[in-house]
Structure 1
């Protein structure tokens, strides 16, 4: 048995898995992509564009589309800078020169040759035209004295025949090397039959049986093994169009010389006539192929007609890959990438990089972090917003820790601290159980009923007691963020969004009883959902309508008279517009007294509603500094002038201070658990 196992082991073979994505590959990690996409969305990109930009850049240790596109461009430069297009002409000229030289040698050493024949032959050789095609045509009737010279001359016709066929049928140049007249006749018959098949297809008169009969007779000429006539036409048309682009890329002199020389192919002008008809049928059947393009080739390596056509097919593949990698056309996706073309041009490593990006894009779409809106655009889902908010809140926590020297502690705690008392659970309670009292109640009840406690204890609802907490103040929070032109101009747009999202995440995750209103104010103000604010493009309308924003905040406060109002204002400019009684917006710069007066009146209303107010002043404008200091002093509020990187931490710090037990939050003594929950909120 063991011997048999050893034989099986020796016979095992391992090779690359080709059945699709690697089944043993680790799952795609989208965390880095989501963080980067979220940052770009806050900077004003649409989620669709943000995802495209990440796929272009790639991630840590992962090539992106730009890297693949760069490699495609390098491959294209290599092909065009290395080759030139006169390979067939140069090879034909080499054979012609060698044939003429051998003939001259034979004429010189053949002493028995008739002097008249010698003189006529030398005269014909001396008067050969400079054109290779014309020289070959003139020598068609020449009586060669040298057998070696005759072989070289016939090799020119054989070379031309194999080259013009290799242009249309890849591999024909090598397949017809040392071919017999019978082989050439078979090729001529195949070309004629193919022309008839394509003509019938263009007229709509062909049948599947006709195609099957053609392939049964001539299938050896088509290693691609097309299964339908359309597959056959596609392969032939791509090759024929590449051949035409090669001709288009030659100089007029080169093109004229080759076209004339090609008439000598196999010494049979009828072959070129058949190939010409074939090209016409293919162009009529596939007009969408590129039949008019061209490329400059100025390298040192000459290309024959067949090899040159292959290079032009490679260039077409590279151009198509460039478009696919650009992902710039409507409806583009990573699934558009052609792995076969990528493997041919760049190798299997490039295919692996592309598949990794395809899997990442699919994972982003399938993870529930993006969804297609009714307008067809991608949108970040609430799940993605929560994830991004947690990331930002983690940054805020790190900054608060860095400012106070605190470290991450895993002590549980919230704004409502445990009082030490317990009470019976009632429906709707969310406080934690007192496990000891609950189990004791169950044991006591079981014993009083005469039951045996040694067989286990059954807990009923009446046994449950919960731990009471101190009364927790509910806050009604209004975060007013400046969305005026200067915020975008001075690079404050993204920090403002990061701040709003971090505060929103903290409140919705740890202080769910609080009610947050987000208001953006530029020339006018508007209440916004967090998704709307995060995706908001930079506003380039001038105007700072704090008056309108305060009106919306006060309306929010009045709706919840029992909650503690908290007013947080982030701005980088004095109020320059206000709302008129008829709803129109009035704008003036510098600010007019009427605008300031109406703004102050709304701020006084906030004070009468009991709002705890903090202004966050961005920038060093002295006029703004004087204004916010006066406003804060009027309502017994506070002014904070944070650096942009510290804005989120400053706003969260102020919010926590306004609703912490006792009315103050001391970041020097509070733990992360107090603020963000047990086991570190940001790791959720």
Structure 2
């Protein structure tokens, strides 16, 4: 029974099958906000997306942070280690062997004096070079058994280090190896070189590879599936071994080459490894066989560890290129997550995977679309999402409190808006019956006030009701069907109404270069997008036209305006912009005209009768006269006019004030961060029940008061 229970016992561990299937989907809202901001600043959507992936978000590390960690690990490897670990270990073993031998010669009183003197002479005349001394002692007849064992350890160490250079883990695996183990190594190397040479001639078959792996597979824990995988693994390690040699000083390299002949007490291993390196260079010439690194630390590494460090450095260099994403066609899918986890840990791989999923979601969920030229553009879906985010920010600024989603009153009377809300004391709006009943049913079920149908209940009076709901009484029988809910005042929802006044809105935004030069370019675009989103989502009956005016003016779609690049062009053609606005007003004679002008400069250009643009600075009197004439035309059409003055230029302030007085308009001088709230507030006030408000307001963000208590909701 115990065995049966053990057989069905489940074991749990960390999920390692790819992305977490239970992880929530990536949040695109922060990415879209950042991308939209960069697009409005003049970046292409593709570049804006790359910039966000590079910077990361509030709770998401970006590519720059990962690349920094890669460089830190690379620098740490080079500054901590050096490559003379094997040479130092050989020198220590040699010194220990010589010391033990001299002790033995001094203790052995039975030894012939001439023999002792000869041996001491041999030891005294050894070459100062460690490699040469090891070679000279190859035929020495050791008196001390301990000294002999230490010397044999040198040959064993060299053999294991040379193998570890080409086959990771061999240094530990071959520790204490027997002659049979060394023979097996030589046989494997001979068969491997034969297979690679056969492959180079194009004469190998899959059966040859399978036969080799059946015989020597224990030497290859990577378990390659074919000869190409085997070549890739061996060539990467062999190239790192060559770079290890290249990174040594000439003296270290020469000494190591001399020592290699003593590996396992025979030059056969060195010959086989040299043959292997030559075969691998022919098969994979694209590997870095000539590179080198400058190690500056004080922690010595053996040949195998040094080769591993060079492989790590190569991995880190590859990751740096992948994370830079600077090459044509770069994608987050290019980042090797396994390599990243191996070098920086699982958390780094999770960060990179999240960025990859975010990039994929942006491309595949319709937020980025390619236009006819093949360039990426923000899709209408992305524009709506970005507009909603900007509108939420505007609502918060207008409400004066953080987290406010709406301004509660949507209108006291008029047409139904289609929205409902919870009843509050003093409300006179009609009840929304379906929503009210649904709320009651849900609450009753949640509070456990329902009952089982078909239960026997005593007879009750026919007039018995619960919260106004009628009871159905059977004429003959013992049960009474009670209503499945109880109505409570908390369940009541009322239908919102709105005083509907159709508006014809012209938003004129200054697109002269001074707007970009003084940091007003992005706030201007954010304002236009917020107003556009509000009208298209909440006041669909209104007619909005966006007009940009620089040296000349033009009507723009919101996508065109948000993607507009700042360019050096002198001229602020308010005259042309007002011409286009008045044309828009005349197309909608039954709507209330609303003129909103955002500018940071006096008009310096106008349209001549022949359609040519005239420019002059300081402003020519004719330019001022043409602008004033078109503003008067807007006033005669009944337009409610608000100027939004940006900057502190006294001349501009005097001009804007005089223009506003002519049409009984208003002047608002908001801070840049409050520009959107100021424009939206002015628009809402122009179509509120108070109608047109006269007079001026100026100064800071408080200058957009008097908008009639109008409000709006921003859906998530």
Q: TM-score range by the shorter chain?
A: 0.7 to 0.9
Match of 2:189 in 1: 191
Q: Which has the higher helix share?
A: 1
Match of 1:68 in 2: 66
Aligned partners of 2:104 and 2:143 also within 8 Å: yes
Match of 1:272 in 2: 270
Deviation at 1:481, TM superposition (A): 0.9
Q: Distance in 1 between matches of 2:202 and 2:610?
A: 72
Structure 2 vs 1, CA of residues 623 and 24 (structure 1 numbering), >3 Å: closer, same or farther?
A: same
Match of 1:210 in 2: 208
Structure 2 vs 1, CA of residues 197 and 591 (structure 1 numbering), >3 Å: closer, same or farther?
A: farther
Deviation at 1:491, TM superposition (A): 1.5
Aligned partners of 1:474 and 1:564 also within 8 Å: yes
Match of 2:506 in 1: 478
Q: Distance in 2 between matches of 1:415 and 1:480?
A: 32
1:87 to 69, 76, 85: 85
Structure 2 vs 1, CA of residues 162 and 571 (structure 1 numbering), >3 Å: closer, same or farther?
A: same
Match of 1:646 in 2: 674
Match of 2:300 in 1: 302
Match of 1:634 in 2: 662
Secondary structure at the counterpart of residue 379 of structure 1: strand
1:397 matched to 2:395:
yes
Secondary structure at the counterpart of residue 400 of structure 2: helix
Structure 2 vs 1, CA of residues 165 and 434 (structure 1 numbering), >3 Å: closer, same or farther?
A: closer
Aligned partners of 2:411 and 2:498 also within 8 Å: no
* 1:101-180 correspondence to structure 2 within 5 Å: 101-180=99-178
2:380 to 379, 382, 390: 382
Structure 2 vs 1, CA of residues 435 and 172 (structure 1 numbering), >3 Å: closer, same or farther?
A: closer
Q: Distance in 1 between matches of 2:215 and 2:159?
A: 22
Q: Which stretch of structure 1 is more off in the superposition, 233-242 or 624-633?
A: 624-633
Q: Give 5+ residue unaligned stretches, structure 2.
A: 418-429, 435-472, 474-494, 694-703
Deviation at 1:391, TM superposition (A): 2.1
Q: Give 5+ residue unaligned stretches, structure 1.
A: 420-431, 437-453, 455-466
Deviation at 1:468, TM superposition (A): 14
CA shift digits 1:51-90 (9 cap, x unpaired)? 3333334334433333333333333333222211100000
Q: Distance in 1 between matches of 2:342 and 2:395?
A: 50
Match of 2:592 in 1: 564
TM-score with structure 1 length normalisation? 0.84
* 1:246-285 correspondence to structure 2 within 5 Å: 246-285=244-283
CA shift digits 1:146-190 (9 cap, x unpaired)? 332222222212211111111011111122222222322222222
1:683 matched to 2:681:
no
Structure 2 vs 1, CA of residues 7 and 104 (structure 1 numbering), >3 Å: closer, same or farther?
A: closer
Secondary structure at the counterpart of residue 711 of structure 2: helix
Q: Distance in 2 between matches of 1:264 and 1:544?
A: 86
1:232 to 230, 233, 243: 230
CA shift digits 1:583-623 (9 cap, x unpaired)? 55444333333433443344344345443322211011011
Aligned partners of 1:237 and 1:289 also within 8 Å: yes
Secondary structure at the counterpart of residue 516 of structure 1: strand
Aligned partners of 1:415 and 1:472 also within 8 Å: no
Q: Distance in 2 between matches of 1:20 and 1:77?
A: 30
Deviation at 1:515, TM superposition (A): 1.7
CA RMSD of aligned residues (A): 3.4
* 1:429-448 correspondence to structure 2 within 5 Å: none
Deviation at 1:573, TM superposition (A): 0.9
Match of 1:523 in 2: 551
Deviation at 1:381, TM superposition (A): 1.9
Aligned partners of 2:646 and 2:669 also within 8 Å: yes
Match of 1:428 in 2: none
Number of equivalences? 635
Q: Distance in 2 between matches of 1:167 and 1:324?
A: 27
1:544 matched to 2:572:
yes
Match of 2:40 in 1: 42
Secondary structure at the counterpart of residue 481 of structure 1: strand
2:350 to 336, 341, 352: 352
Q: Distance in 1 between matches of 2:596 and 2:501?
A: 18
